[in-house]
Structure 1
Amino acid sequence: MRRLLPYAPDVTDLTSAEDTPWTLEALADAYAYPAAAVDAGVPWLRGNMVSSLDGAARLDGLSDGLSSPADKRIFGVLRALADVVLVGAQTVRAEGYRPAMARAEFAAERAARGQGPAPVIAVVSGALDLDFDLPLFTAPLVRTVVLTAETAPADGLAAARRVADVVIAGEAHVDPVRAVAALVERGWTRLLTEGGPRLLGQLAEAGALDELCLTLAPLLAAGGAPRIAYGAQAVAERMDLVGLLEEKGFLFARYARSVKIAQ
């Protein structure tokens, strides 16, 4: 893996050969939450998505078809840095989401930051059309949170409350701004969303996304897969490129909103 931006010729392990994997520590340094935001107690919501060259968010229905070993390492590091992972119900169903795991390599750092052993998974679902017998709900290391709306079905609410912490974050639909605010109220300021595209689009429309960690796979996908973010409204918010890595043709970019604190 090679670091292309920001250029650091004096740091050997950050400019290693393309076929040399980075250490987890080096990746954690490269993807650390902005120090200025952390020091000021400012919430920071980053998204982590993968895309084909032509913008597809999935291959054969799943994002895994666009991934790579380096992408999976970064995926794990981003989770290890986060307080909470925000994810849409459709992605939970399609990707077979499981509880976040504790990583021994990050245990000391998480404890020093006052974090639990693993990030909380927070699922956005207005209709509560979820399988509450999945390990995500029955066997998490830390209790899963479900963000739903006031109009959620009563039987779904009852089932969710048996296995998760339920938060009402909207009336007819889940309001992404209220959902993020509810997580911040619990003291979770290092936020991560893994989508899917509909949730990422809603967060972008609401102006709630501070950073995008984007893996660009060297693949053409074509077909009818959605973009990594889509919704009812178009947005045109400028983001600044603050980091870029490369391995075996895959690009790993960090973009941050220029109007907010960035490293």
Structure 2
Amino acid sequence: MRNLLTPSATHQPELTDEDILGLYAPPSDESQAFVRFNFVMTADGGATHRGVSGEIGGEGDKRMFQLLRLHAHVLVMGAGTVRAEGYEGDLLSAEDKTWREQNGLSQVLPVALISGGLHLEPSDQFFAQAPTTPIVYTAETSSPEAREKLSAVAEVVIAGRDSVEPALVVKDLVARGYRNIHSEGGPTVFGDFQRANLVDSLCVTIAPKTAGPGEKRIGGEGPTEGNALRQMTLHNLLEHHGELLAEYRKA
């Protein structure tokens, strides 16, 4: 993997994991939240292939995918993405845990789910194998019976009346000491955070593949009301075997 934003990029040595972690380090200001999203997409803009994203990325994307988790205080995910992509069990390797401990972070990466309708089952393997009790953010209009049932395996938090409000999610996470908030989707969650202007960093891998028409895009689908063009700056641009790995930060 090489850095395309440095002089003589074609002649520089291969970036180490520590090099990449340094380039992607969150801001040092601990008084504010830093919300980062990470996605992979095809060269023609597809965020999925046959409904999931796992087949799109190559070796460089998978490496970045794991490294970006290391800086996180919490991983925020949409319930649909967790069901589709598989997030059961411990999400960190032994080496990851050692790095986090050496850098003042918990060895366990907490996970928070967003589920407005609370269509989740306490018997799901995600809950059964979770290394720590997950947080589930839901709307006030979700079923009280579902909230009570899920409370046996998760901490259920109401964060909005008709839908989950990203600002309330971020406020609650920061109150828990989780400032570096990392998300891997899905598109609906990303779209909601975009509308709320709460995306500080967007990391996206562009894979040298095409998916064809009909696939989802990273911003999801739905009404365009409330959308705005938001200026971002290119913070990182790496390349690995034809994959472009970019990070844009809020301007």
| TM-score, normalising length: structure 2 | 0.91
Shift of 1:137: 0.9
1:208 partnered with 2:198: yes
For 1:64 and 1:129, the matched residues in 2 are separated by: 23
For 1:44 and 1:213, the matched residues in 2 are separated by: 13
1:57 partnered with 2:47: yes
For 2:98 and 2:31, the matched residues in 1 are separated by: 21
For 1:247 and 1:98, the matched residues in 2 are separated by: 28
For 1:226 and 1:146, the matched residues in 2 are separated by: 25
Aligned-residue CA RMSD in angstroms?
1.9
For 1:101 and 1:223, the matched residues in 2 are separated by: 32
1:232 partnered with 2:229: no
| Contact 1:80–1:118 (Cα < 8 Å) also in 2 | no
- Matched with 1:2 is 2
Question: Which of the two has greater helix per residue?
Answer: 1
| Contact 1:59–1:225 (Cα < 8 Å) also in 2 | yes
| Contact 1:83–1:119 (Cα < 8 Å) also in 2 | yes
Q: Say which SS state the counterpart of residue 216 (structure 1) adopts.
A: strand
Q: Say which SS state the counterpart of residue 55 (structure 2) adopts.
A: helix
Match of 2:13 among 16, 22, 40: 16
Q: Deviations over 1:69-115 (max 9, x none)?
A: 21111111111210111111111121122244343323344235542
What amino acid is the match of 1:189?
A: R
- Matched with 2:19 is 26
Unmatched runs of 5 consecutive residues or more in structure 1: 259-263
Q: Which moved more, 1:135-144 or 1:190-199?
A: 135-144
| Contact 1:2–1:246 (Cα < 8 Å) also in 2 | yes
Q: Say which SS state the counterpart of residue 204 (structure 2) adopts.
A: strand
| Contact 1:93–1:130 (Cα < 8 Å) also in 2 | no
| Contact 1:100–1:121 (Cα < 8 Å) also in 2 | no
How many percent of aligned residue pairs carry the same amino acid? 36
- Matched with 1:84 is 74
1:247 partnered with 2:244: no
Match of 1:118 among 108, 121, 128: 108
What amino acid is the match of 2:2?
A: R
Q: Say which SS state the counterpart of residue 63 (structure 1) adopts.
A: coil
| Contact 1:132–1:163 (Cα < 8 Å) also in 2 | yes
- Matched with 1:261 is none
Shift of 1:217: 0.8
- Matched with 1:104 is 94
| TM-score, normalising length: structure 1 | 0.87
Unmatched runs of 5 consecutive residues or more in structure 2: none
Q: Deviations over 1:197-245 (max 9, x none)?
A: 1110110010011010000011121221121013423220010001010
Match of 2:171 among 168, 181, 186: 181
1:195 partnered with 2:188: no
Shift of 1:158: 1.7
Shift of 1:8: 6.3
For 2:86 and 2:146, the matched residues in 1 are separated by: 19
What amino acid is the match of 2:4?
A: L
Number of equivalenced pairs: 247
Q: Deviations over 1:159-218 (max 9, x none)?
A: 211111111101111111111211111110011111111110110010011010000011
